[in-house]
Structure 1
Amino acid sequence: MRNPPRVAMVAGETSGDLLAGLLLDGLQAQWPGLKGQGIGGPQMERRGFDAWWPSERLAVHGYSMEVLRRLKGILRIRKQLRERLLHEPPDVFIGVDAPDFNLGLETDLRAAGVKTVHFVCPSIWAWRADRVDKIRRAADHVLCIFPFEPELLAQHGIAATYVGHPLANVIPMVPDRAAARAQLGLRDEDEVLAILPGSRSAEVAYIASPFFQAAALVRKARPAIKLIVPAVPLLRERIVQLAHASGLGDGVQIVAGQSHAVLAACDATLIASGTATLEAALFKRPMVIGYHMHPLSWWLMRRKQLQPWVGLPNILCRDFVVPELIQDAATPQALCAATLEWLEARTRQPEKITALEQRFTVLHESLRRDTSRLAADAIQKLLAA
């Protein structure tokens, strides 16, 4: 075994890049000088990762036309990456999330004798239970971010380790609301609604307008409210256009990135389903989860859904602790009404806010582990076997 080992990785999208960057911290503590190569984003590159392709090239949304338009290019990248890794095999390949891309690649590499790790168990407990067989073929080991997953995988003969959720360590148990507001130019006494319409272009295309229309209705009911949107830099111009088209004009503050500061600063958030909802829960913020996708994508997803919840906070709490308005239910009027309930509860039902914060604190504690070290230890043991 080389010291450090040669590590290849693939991370798709912004959330995968963040998780992979934290994993690299642990690997580099275990093996100083380790860099990694493959597909990654800015968080990984900051740790010296050699990104042959940027992770944003893998970002897709849903099943149908929005995927088909980009499928040819994604398959070409996977073919080229597979050939390169088979020609010069790494000591270990780590697929970070992006199961549609990574599981097939892992299967081929594992068949060729490469040790394979999948970081983030696909949500077989929520939908697409058929992926279990694919995971068994693809991964020598799975790194799980939720505590119940290793036992579930063990029932199917898949080795796994619970490493905690990296975001639970990044986000403080008690967020500094005042500091976040100062950073964003907001006053302590301001009432603040955060709007997070997603980090992918297709998400923004489907849900941003209903969110902004709902925010305009909220502002009519509460004229003094401050509206703030953390935008992925590449999507900022499009988000500005959609906000103006929805009648918000200059009444919304759109910032580049800074989603954690925005969540720490807000009183409530209107948020697209995805990893960001877990971030909002870790910041202990009331939220309304909304989502909309291509009708065919929605039909296919509904057929494979195993639980009544869509949002991660509700799935992990196993209860509708925050409202979910999905697909046809995600109308501006319904989104506005649900948001106003949270805002009004701060003065009329403070116990409702307190109860939510307590649920999210328990959730935060259950996810808090030394993720970088635990993940690196599991990989070290796999390589030593």
Structure 2
Amino acid sequence: MSVILRKAIHSLSREVIRNTGIIRRFSSISSRAVVDLAAKDGELRVFVVAGEVSGDTIGARLMASLKRISPFPVKFCGVGGSMMALHGLQSLFPMEDLAVMGIWELLPHLYKIRARLKESLEAASLFKPHVILTVDAKGFSFRFLKELRASYNLQLLDRPMHFHYVAPSFWAWRGGEARLKGLSHFVDHIFCLLPFEEEVCRLNGLAATFVGHPVLEDCLQLNLIAMGVLLFGSCILKLLSCKRETLLLGRFTQIVKSSEVNLIFLQASTAALCTSGTVAVELQLARLPCLVAYRAHILTEWLIRYKAQVPYISLPNILLDSPFIPEALFNSCTARNLASTLTELIQDEGLREQQMKSAERVVQLLSPPANNYVQYESEDISQPSMIAASTLLHYRRCE
């Protein structure tokens, strides 16, 4: 037998032994829950990444719920905003560095985002977490999870559990459901906001839990000025960059950030103008009729037209498969059209009543099922963040 052949066989034998060791080691921890891993170290270490304002709010609630029900002290590291900072997270860098919306809009920021990705990977490796939690922002989150898992595998290390909060919108895009299959390679469990997402995830090999929509925890925390029409949400300001459009809309609207909105304000309002996104669901909770508006880069709008497989852009319309909320999208999103639709909505009580009735159904669909409620100190808790926290603590990975 030649020296080269003997070396090749020896190398192959070592590889087999090494791979067998990986399987044995991973198998030994596969039946252990997150809380068991924390018990070994006397603390639960969670590395969390949120890339936008809504993710910061979701992450903050989950952090609070984990601290409430964990039998061990919880330590956090990662990326987040002001809300997560209130619960002990010192963000590695400003969360706004990741909050880039759109597709073509992302291109000028690629170098910075790549640098932030490397920074996050290094921090996660040093922190030695039991759990990795990414919240929405799937572009950055999924790249982060992929590279982190590859790093653990390369170093032959036991990897932490990987959770992603907010299922990707596979239902909105052509071929989206097929892409779910690949997520199981780097995501252990997904927390779903919509009722139909859990089953579809599981059919595609992904462990998932429907926890309910996070705005259900906000229904009594909304603050503002009484106006006939409200215009709020950070992205909506881009719609009014043109002075002429601002003047046309000025008689209808008061610009406010969504974080400043209050229930008293909403109850005093007749209708609202908002962007698509979480704010449209918040208005359903407040039973405030609204008009949804959306503009983006011309190439992003073209891609959305080409790839989208749902006829609506706002979540309430998608859930009910009905255009009960008027939408002004792309080229139709002009000041004149917005003003005309708002006028009709303000003056037509029947249209507003129809929206409020449909809102009842939307809220029902977004509420978690009773069998997902968490028992805590003799109290049933149905908050989405508590359901997610309990699922995270007691989850057992199947290898």
Instruction: Indicate the residue corresponding to 1:247 in structure 2.
Output: none
CA distance in structure 1 between the partners assigned to 2:114 and 2:244 by the alignment: 35
Q: Return the letter of the residue paired with 1:204.
A: L
Q: CA 1:228–1:84 in 2, change beyond 3 Å: closer, same or farther?
A: same
Q: CA 1:382–1:212 in 2, change beyond 3 Å: closer, same or farther?
A: farther
2:186 is aligned with 1:138: yes
- Residues 1-385 of structure 1 correspond to what in structure 2 (within 5 A)? 1-2=37-38, 3-31=42-70, 33-64=73-104, 66-111=105-150, 112=152, 113-127=159-173, 129=176, 131-172=179-220, 184=225, 186=226, 192-196=228-232, 198-200=233-235, 204-205=237-238, 207-209=239-241, 213=245, 216-217=248-249, 219=251, 227-231=253-257, 257-261=259-263, 262-346=265-349, 349=350, 352-368=351-367, 369-382=382-395
> CA-atom RMSD, angstroms?
2.4
Q: CA 1:57–1:154 in 2, change beyond 3 Å: closer, same or farther?
A: same
How far did 1:318 drift?
1.3
- Aligned 8 A contact 1:211 1:335 in 2: no
| Residue-by-residue CA offset, 1:241-290 (whole Å, 9 max, x unaligned) | xxxxxxxxxxxxxxxx4134554442111111121111112211111111
* Structure showing greater Rg: 2
Q: CA 1:211–1:7 in 2, change beyond 3 Å: closer, same or farther?
A: farther
How far did 1:217 drift?
5.0
| Residue-by-residue CA offset, 1:285-320 (whole Å, 9 max, x unaligned) | 111111111111111222221110111111122110
How far did 1:383 drift?
5.5
In the alignment of these two chains, the number of paired residues is 334
- Aligned 8 A contact 1:35 1:50 in 2: no
| TM-score for both structures, normalised by structure 2 | 0.77
| TM-score for both structures, normalised by structure 1 | 0.80
- Aligned 8 A contact 1:104 1:138 in 2: no
CA distance in structure 2 between the partners assigned to 1:18 and 1:263 by the alignment: 20
CA distance in structure 1 between the partners assigned to 2:245 and 2:216 by the alignment: 32
- Aligned 8 A contact 1:210 1:330 in 2: no
Q: CA 1:72–1:151 in 2, change beyond 3 Å: closer, same or farther?
A: same
SS at match of 2:234: coil
Percent identity, please. 30
Q: Return the letter of the residue paired with 1:69.
A: P
How far did 1:327 drift?
0.7
- Aligned 8 A contact 2:181 2:206 in 1: no
CA distance in structure 1 between the partners assigned to 2:269 and 2:247 by the alignment: 14
SS at match of 1:309: coil
Unaligned runs of 5+ in 2: 1-36, 153-158, 368-381
CA distance in structure 2 between the partners assigned to 1:51 and 1:231 by the alignment: 23
How far did 1:210 drift?
6.6
Q: CA 1:373–1:217 in 2, change beyond 3 Å: closer, same or farther?
A: closer
- Aligned 8 A contact 2:216 2:383 in 1: no
Q: Return the letter of the residue paired with 1:336.
A: A
- Aligned 8 A contact 2:46 2:77 in 1: yes
How far did 1:193 drift?
0.7
Q: Return the letter of the residue paired with 2:335.
A: P
How far did 1:211 drift?
10
How far did 1:74 drift?
1.0
CA distance in structure 2 between the partners assigned to 1:296 and 1:145 by the alignment: 29
SS at match of 2:209: strand
Unaligned runs of 5+ in 1: 220-224, 233-256
Q: Return the letter of the residue paired with 2:300.
A: S
Q: Return the letter of the residue paired with 1:147.
A: P
